[in-house]
Structure 1
Amino acid sequence: MPDTHALVSDFLNNLEKRKIEGSKTTAKLTAELLRSVISQQRLPNLNQAGALIHAIKAIGEQLTKANPVEVAVGNIVRRVLHIIREEDVSLTTASIGGLNLQGLSDDDEEDNHPLVSAAAAAAAARTTLRPPSLQTLLEDIPPHSAAASASAALHHSSSSAGDSEDKTKSTDKNSRSRKLKHNVIEAVNELIQDIATCHELIAEQAVEHIHHNEVILTLGSSGTVIEFLCAAKEKKRSFRVFVAEGAPRYQGHTLAKELVARGLQTTVITDSAVFALISRVNMVIVGAHAVMANGGVIAPVGLNMVALAAQRHAVPFVVLAGIHKLCPLYPHNPEVLLNELKSPSELLDFGEFSDCMDFGTGTGSPLLHVVNPAFDYVPPKLVSLFITDTGGHNPSYMYRLIADYYSADDLVLQQRPTS
């Protein structure tokens, strides 16, 4: 098995250098890393779930600091913590239930003899508790050695019972530790499978939302959007797609080429032409970088402009997002970093406007600044519908979904100092 510290260090390095891109890929790799950590984690005899939670939180804090903008990392860490808590409660409930069932079965055996009186039952119990082999032994051996033999037999029986009890407790603790890790790993495997198939589950709903002769507008490039539109095409839906190019990275060009290769009628437009053409559009379908707890969306830059245009012309604004993109935090939380600035080289070539970068103005800084934000924030009032791998939901319902997938104790991943 590879060393856990080496795996975590490599993953941290890739996050910091932005070598891992895309929420789906990041979420899947994060879940696989945490699965490896859990499988190699040694648990104590007491508070096994607490020790596992502490270890995952310590690693999760490092991962979220490495790339604060990629909220999918924190989402998966919190999902795994929620899984650990659920499995611990499930095992504890099963253990208590087993003890209760055993007690109830003993009572039922007594209640199944209504014709036996209380005195007879007590006598039967005393007879049952006395070992017949020991009584026979005392009758057969000489009187002078009966007391010593009985004492030795009782001492041996007591010692054996104590050793057996200690071994049973140790076995139960080891068995519960293995059971907890096994159940958590199985649940994490299911989580990884859900992340891998989220595109397909979302695409299955395309035929319910896209109809004949409609015009769909999208911006940028999203693998979820590609699968969604192509799934409608496979269901014999005939429609047209307007793709805003998404300057300055022009990811819309990549999306348009993919759609044309799959046989969809596609029209590329500039970002500034969105408002002029929105009146011809029946629906806006876009992807998301993250969905916040209030239903707001962190999305590629330019989408807030599209959402405002859609609201002005009463065009439905639909967001496609896998469950791994649901973030239990709000935009105003200090842990949330909504944006980051990309390189100015995406806007200007090297040497271009070099005469404007003169530092000899006496101010100590150039007169020209180039700002290239990566994301927009779309408030929930501009979103008509979320389509996830669990179905379609209104923005006001997102908090309910988040409550099912995260625990309130795990919203803050920073370890609290113990007094």
Structure 2
Amino acid sequence: MPDVHSLVNEFVVKLKKRKVEGSKACAKLTAELLRSFISQQRLPQRNESGALIEAVKSVGEELVAANPVELAVGNVVRRVLHIICEENLSLTTAAVGGLSLSAESDDEDDAHDDYPALSAIMVAAAARSALRPPSLQTLLEDVPNTIAVPHTSSSGGDSEGKSKSADKNSVTRKLKHNVIEAVNELIQEISTCHEQIAEQAVEHIHQNEVIMTLGSSRTVTEFLCAAKEKKRSFRVFVAEGAPRYQGHALAKELATRGIQTTVITDSAVFAMISRVNMVIVGAHAVMANGGVMAPVGLNMVALAAQRHAIPFVVLAGIHKLCPLYPHKPEVLLNELKSPSELLDFGEFSDCLDFGSGTGSPLLDVVNPAFDYVPPNLVSLFITDIGGHNPSYMHQLMAEYYSVDDLVVRGKSAS
């Protein structure tokens, strides 16, 4: 296999130079890189899960710092850290459960009375509680605070020591294998998220509806085309999404696949939205409060939809769920693109020069890449595991990320 450190450095350079863009591409490449990294790690005999977590965190910090705006990179790193914790706890549960059974059978009278063996069910409950954030439900659950390993008799100490050592080596080998298998499932989940979301299209798009979207999104494209394949007849208004005008490419794709499409300017959204039954858009990231980081211009569409009481539906894969809040100052959520997308430098070069001794150009060009849509403007999230209300996003993220991994330490959290 190629040297994993060279792969990490190569991917970091691509992120810094913006050669890899888009949530799905960044998420999939990050998961594949972490899979290669984990497969080449040599874990110590003691605390192998802790060593693996620290190694993945160090790589994750480097990847996040390379391009903090691509929040999917940090999301995948946190998912992998959560996978390591889950697999380690699962192996620990199985090991303690096996020791419980042997302790009960060998020392049923003395050892069981002095050191009650912890059942596998109680260990599993403790493991689940450790992975979940604190809540009223976890506080009320009857789970022991500490997990005590059952005591066994001292007879046959040499054979028991060898057996324990063999079991530990087996657990170490199993940990890497199980983590790699789970990361493979994560890669498959990221690859098929569009198909999983598109399967739900027929439940939300009905006959003779008018739908509005902005810009271009592969998830939205597959979602609309899946409804067309189910014999739904509808019309789509596509706002062109200046300054990149990605809506033109989406409109061409929809028309090619037999969907009636109308292209409108971004400034015509409020004028045309009264004819619309539903707004369906993609997302760059979904924040912990249910807010959405989306291509620039979508907040305007969301406000217009709210004004006319039109459902605003966001399509997003699970890898886009970011367990951070948009108000944190260390979270970089936006970036400014090149002014050349808005103005031709040759025509406006005189205005862009530094003049009048002020130390700043007479004409300033701002070209942000993303908008923030607050959760009160979102009607529904459709993910690859179903539809959810914005208020449920925080609980949904708690199932995919560990509490200790909500912030990947580095130059910038994302």
TM range (shorter): 0.7 to 0.9
Query: Which amino acid letter does the alignment assign opposite residue 19 of structure 1?
Result: K
Which of these two proteins has the greater Rg computed from alpha carbons? 1
| Corresponding residue for residue 348 of structure 2 | 353
Q: How does 1:12-411 map to 2 (within 5 A)?
A: 12-106=12-106, 164=159, 167-411=162-406
Distance 2:108 2:384 in 1: 47
What is the deviation of 1:162? Answer: 6.7
Q: Unmatched 5+ residue regions in structure 1? A: 111-160
**SS across alignment from 1:336:** coil
Distance 1:358 1:5 in 2: 44
Query: Which amino acid letter does the alignment assign opposite residue 284 of structure 1?
Result: V
Distance 2:216 2:87 in 1: 38
**Contact 2:64–2:410 under 8 Å retained in 1:** no
Distance 2:410 2:205 in 1: 47
Distance 1:96 1:60 in 2: 31
**SS across alignment from 2:207:** coil
**Contact 1:57–1:415 under 8 Å retained in 2:** no
Distance 1:14 1:354 in 2: 31
Distance 1:202 1:21 in 2: 21
Give the alignment's Cα RMSD to 1 decimal: 1.7
**Contact 2:62–2:410 under 8 Å retained in 1:** no
**SS across alignment from 1:194:** helix
Deviations 1:33-73 (A, max 9, x none): 00111110110111111000000000000100000000000
What is the deviation of 1:336? Answer: 1.7
Distance 2:158 2:108 in 1: 31
Query: Which amino acid letter does the alignment assign opposite residue 312 of structure 2?
Result: F
Distance 1:247 1:388 in 2: 27
**Contact 2:213–2:280 under 8 Å retained in 1:** yes
Query: Which amino acid letter does the alignment assign opposite residue 339 of structure 2?
Result: P
Distance 2:83 2:19 in 1: 28
**Contact 2:278–2:311 under 8 Å retained in 1:** yes
Q: Unmatched 5+ residue regions in structure 2? A: 111-155
CA separation of 1:407 and 1:335: change in aligned 2, threshold 3 A: farther
| Corresponding residue for residue 2 of structure 1 | 2
**Contact 2:235–2:260 under 8 Å retained in 1:** yes
Identity level (%): 80
Query: Which amino acid letter does the alignment assign opposite residue 105 of structure 1?
Result: S
CA separation of 1:220 and 1:415: change in aligned 2, threshold 3 A: closer
What is the deviation of 1:351? Answer: 0.8
What is the deviation of 1:25? Answer: 0.9
What is the deviation of 1:220? Answer: 0.6
Calculate the TM-score normalised by the size of structure 2.
0.86
Query: Which amino acid letter does the alignment assign opposite residue 39 of structure 1?
Result: S
Higher helix residue share: 1
Calculate the TM-score normalised by the size of structure 1.
0.85
